[in-house]
Amino acid sequence: MAAIPPIDDTTKALDLTVRGFLFCLRRDGEDRLTLSAPHLEGYGAITVDWASADVQRRIAGGRKQLLTKAVGLHKKTDANVFDGTAGLGRDAFTLAALGARVTLAERNPVLLALLRDARRRALAHPALADAAGRMTIVEQDSTAGLDIAKGHDAIYLDPMYPDDGKRALPSKEMQVLRDLTGGDADADALLAAALQSGVARIAVKRPSKAPWLAAAKPSLSMEGTQARFDLYLR
Ligand SMILES: C[S@@+](CC[C@H](N)C(=O)[O-])C[C@H]1O[C@@H](n2cnc3c(N)ncnc32)[C@H](O)[C@@H]1O
């Protein structure tokens, strides 16, 4: 991605051209950083909001849902989880709200800015502050090596699935992310980096029926209604 100007708490408005598309970062009336992609007509602006009904519904799913089982949070309620593909931080926040300490790695600078903005706001929100305090956001390309994940109980990976034209369109937010990042065509390398890190538990979220990452057979898979979790256990 081309160099972009620094984005921080003082950023009010910034227009960026990425991969030939215009993206607009704006600060809204509630001091939230938002991202819109005018070429995707009719799509509203994205903001990372962990107080949203969607995230709160995920948290209400508790420690018996597949995501938490995949990272082992049902057995160790304060597990240290390394999320190597943070995105909008919804899975990471869900895990943190359910007791995990989570390191979130993201390589895209625009998404990093949205994540940092969300954490800043969450720390000031009485119902979100505890969980946000258990989250650490790092700028990192996880395919470059996951030595920094050493010492965590689990690595969690949720790369985007490339557009092969055969699947239903992803959510509007994921379409914006895909145009912004180009999709995660190098996702196979994520698993290699995770396996080399020595972390005992690696959980990969895949669309149902998608092939295994790097064609590597997992120790076990858990099928959900909307996704599958492949587990690589040492
Ligand atoms: C499908 S989204 C993750 C969604 C996330 N689980 C959530 O709950 O919001 C995938 C994200 O992983 C990031 N990503 C993909 N490969 C990465 C890598 N090698 N290193 C760091 N981030 C990566 C992408 O930039 C994108 O933001």
Q: Are strands 101-106 and 80-83 parallel, antiparallel or unpaired?
A: parallel
Q: Is 85 in the pocket of ligand 1 (CB under 6 A)?
A: yes
State the distance from the centre of ligand 1 to the C-alpha of 179, rounded, in angstroms: 13
Domains of the chain from N-terminus onward: 49-233 (3.40.50.150)
What are the tens digits of pLDDT across the range 63-102? 999 999 999 999 999 999 999 999 999 999 999 999 999 9
Q: Is 181 in the pocket of ligand 1 (CB under 6 A)?
A: yes
Nearest CA to ligand 1 atom 11: 87
What are the tens digits of pLDDT across the range 188-211? 999 999 999 999 999 999 999 899
Residue holding tokens 């914006």?
A: 176
Ligand 1: nearest atom to the Cα of 193: 19
What are the tens digits of pLDDT across the range 1-11? 557 788 888 88
Give the separation between CA 201 and CA 40, rounded to whole angstroms: 38
State the distance from the centre of ligand 1 to the C-alpha of 126, rounded, in angstroms: 27
State the distance from the centre of ligand 1 to the C-alpha of 181, rounded, in angstroms: 9
**Cα Rg of the chain, angstroms:** 17
Query: Under 8 Å CB-to-CB from 93, ≥6 apart: which residues?
Result: 50, 55, 59, 122, 128, 131, 132, 135
166 band by pLDDT with thresholds 50, 70 and 90: low
Q: What is the pTM of this model?
A: 0.96
Q: Is 108 in the pocket of ligand 1 (CB under 6 A)?
A: yes
pLDDT at 145 over 90: no
